[in-house]
Amino acid sequence: MPLHDARDVANQIIRRAAMHRRTLTPMQVLKLVYMSQGWMLGLYGRPLFSQSVEAWQYGPVIPDVYHALKGYGSSPVLATINCPQEHYDPQEIDIINQVVDIYKDWNGIELSNWTHQPGSPWHTTWHINGRNSTIPIDTIQAYFNRLAHESARQ
């Protein structure tokens, strides 16, 4: 299955939140796109989208998604991003839906704080490689795989 454009993953998240009568800020969308990538890697061993994730000041960021949404500032995102709509397999839809359903009530700061935890891919990359460095996909995969295994033991 080909990798998706992270902007369309963002659109899937925006639509899913709307189904719950929720709007999301750009920061929330960015973190949920990242978390969707992480859980896809951690649970299924494959990426959801093709773009790199970078370690920015407020956490992991996919630059294409950031630039598409930055005009909203900290206001709610009121429309989807203008990009081709793609088709997703059932695992991909399930990951996106679960991420939104579980984290939809977390504000941008809470999501950012979650991504900043010691040992997280952002934290490791930020402190080793510095600001705006690409977070290695294998680092994301290993972290979310560990979270999945810890969750399964509980």
- DSSP H helical ranges for the chain: 6-19, 26-44, 63-69, 90-103, 108-115, 121-129, 137-153
d(CA 4, CA 20): 24
pLDDT tens series, the chain, 154 aa: 679 999 999 999 999 999 999 999 999 999 999 999 999 999 999 999 999 999 999 899 999 999 999 999 999 999 999 998 999 999 999 999 999 999 999 999 999 999 999 999 999 999 999 999 999 999 999 999 999 988 777 6
Token pair belonging to 27: 């920061």
pLDDT at residue 1, as a whole number: 62
d(CA 67, CA 83): 13
Predicted structure pTM score: 0.96
| Order of all β-strands in the sheet with 133-135 | 59-61, 53-56, 133-135
- SS3 at position 154: coil
Indicate left, alpha or beta for 56 from its phi (over 0: left) and psi (-120 to 50: alpha).
beta
d(CA 135, CA 149): 21
